[in-house]
A = this chain, B = another copy of it.
Amino acid sequence: MTTQRMSSSNASRRNEASRRAILTAAFELVQEVGYAKLSIESIAARAGVGKQTIYRWWPSKGAVLFDAFLLMLGEQADTGEPALPDTGDLEADLKTVLRATIEELNDPRYDEPMRALNTEIVHDPALAALYSERLDGPMREMKKRRLRSAQRAGQLAEDLDLDVAVEMVWGPLLNRWLQRSGALTPEYADSLVETALSGLRPRH
């Protein structure tokens, strides 16, 4: 796993083909059978790999899944420093981004693996830390960059806590998706952005 790979010179010995086969198999299987029924044995079988090869490099099923996720994300977009669109119109940019996120969440290809990752994090602090460092951290930083830009342009309150701001825009969306407590529509994205920007109180 990532952690071990960092600390070990054995990593040089590592068979990259096996690593990719394992991660690909894990990602496919979690879509097919769901996280609960995903087993190390089935991953090894699908990948054509001995079980020990998985146990050697990853500490848990969740860690495999995490790396699988990283691999899949990395493949589609690994373009250095990522950024949110910045047209100068914050509201429009956020709506664009949230609508895109909603589309991704509705994509059955990613639904089950992402749910799996999110719930694994809830129970596994080690994985949560990894997630925070490698996935959520960079994403949050990217979001905060866009908000800071708007803040400098006077479009956001000067004393705004950007972490709270990020959570207020993206948190409700994630919750609604995970709990299926409501439909994820483009209109919802718009409503969310408008309400977050203007606040619940009447203006004027």
Given A119-B119, A122-B118, A180-B128, A197 and B201 contact (CB-CB distance below 8 Å): yes
User: Which A118-138 residues have a C-beta within 8 angstroms of B?
Assistant: 118-119, 121-123, 125, 128, 131-132, 136
Bound-complex Cα distance A35 to B165 (A)? 32
Most buried by B among A122, A155, A203: A122
Q: Are B181 and A132 in contact (CB under 8 A)?
A: yes
Q: Are B122 and A179 in contact (CB under 8 A)?
A: yes
Segment of A5-13, A69-77, A167-175 in the binding face: A167-175
Bound-complex Cα distance A182 to B201 (A)? 26
Bound-complex Cα distance A179 to B166 (A)? 14
Contact of A131 among B132, B157, B179, B188 (CB under 8 A): B179
**Which residues of B are found within 8 Å of A169, using beta-carbon distances?**
200
Bound-complex Cα distance A125 to B115 (A)? 12
Contact of A198 among B123, B175, B180, B201 (CB under 8 A): B201
Q: Are A203 and B200 in contact (CB under 8 A)?
A: no
Q: Are A199 and B198 in contact (CB under 8 A)?
A: yes
Given A122-B115, A200-B160, A195 and B136 contact (CB-CB distance below 8 Å): no
By secondary structure, the A interface counts as: helix
Q: Across chains A and B, which 8 residue pairs bring their CB atoms closest together, nearest first?
A: A199-B199, A167-B172, A119-B119, A171-B172, A171-B171, A171-B175, A198-B199, A157-B202
Would you list 28 pairs from A and B whose C-beta atoms are within 8 A, ordered by A residue? A36-B123, A115-B123, A119-B122, A122-B178, A131-B179, A136-B181, A154-B202, A156-B202, A157-B200, A157-B201, A160-B195, A160-B200, A161-B191, A163-B182, A164-B172, A164-B195, A165-B195, A167-B182, A168-B168, A169-B200, A171-B171, A171-B176, A174-B175, A196-B199, A196-B200, A197-B201, A198-B199, A199-B199
Contact residues of A with B, CB < 8 Å?
A: 34-36, 115-116, 118-119, 121-123, 125, 128, 131-132, 136, 147, 154-158, 160-161, 163-165, 167-169, 171-172, 174-176, 178-182, 188, 191-192, 195-203
